[in-house]
Amino acid sequence: MRKGTSYPSEFKLDVVKDYLNTEKTYAEISEEYHVSSSTLTKWVKKYEESGYDDNVFKTRKGRSKSIISDFSKVPPVIYDKAGVEKSNNSNEDISSIKRKLTRYEKSLLEKELEIQLLREQNEILKKNLK
């Protein structure tokens, strides 16, 4: 058994499913896959607590892909351009939050469409320049 080793998410899922889908014990699975019983126990528990979500082990480490790490530092002009209301009120009612979410989803879709169109235009321009 290895110490301090990081295992690929696919490997973890395969090991857990092998344990859950067979009559093998923790010890047998641990020996077969060269992982400790305690590690296997943690993986099985995590998988079960996730509702048997096959993506439970696919966690990303490191920095978030978002360029915004602190929303309080985003200039108000950016909120205005994005059509987003800056709210400090944590006591909003559910219907207000749902309306905001719907508006933001629509805005997101519009931005994604705009990005796609710009990418297509960019590709056309690149081809025409060659």
- Please identify every stretch of the chain with a pLDDT value under 50, giving residue numbers as ranges: none
Say if residue 51 is in the same domain as residue 9: yes
pTM, two decimal places: 0.46
pLDDT for the residue 26 = 92
Counted residue by residue, the chain has a size of 130
Q: What's the confidence (pLDDT) of residue 107?
A: 82
CATH number where 5 lies? 1.10.10
- Which string of DSSP letters, residue by residue, matches the chain? --SS----HHHHHHHHHHHHHSS--HHHHHHHHT--HHHHHHHHHHHHHTTS-TTTT----SS-S-S-S-GGGS-HHHHHHHT------S---HHHHHHHHHHHHHHHHHHHHHHHHHHHHHHHHHHHH-
Mean of the per-residue pLDDT values for the chain?
83
Q: 13: domain range? A: 1-59
Does residue 79 lie in a domain region?
no
**Which of 59, 74, 107 lies at the terminal end of a domain, its last residue?**
59
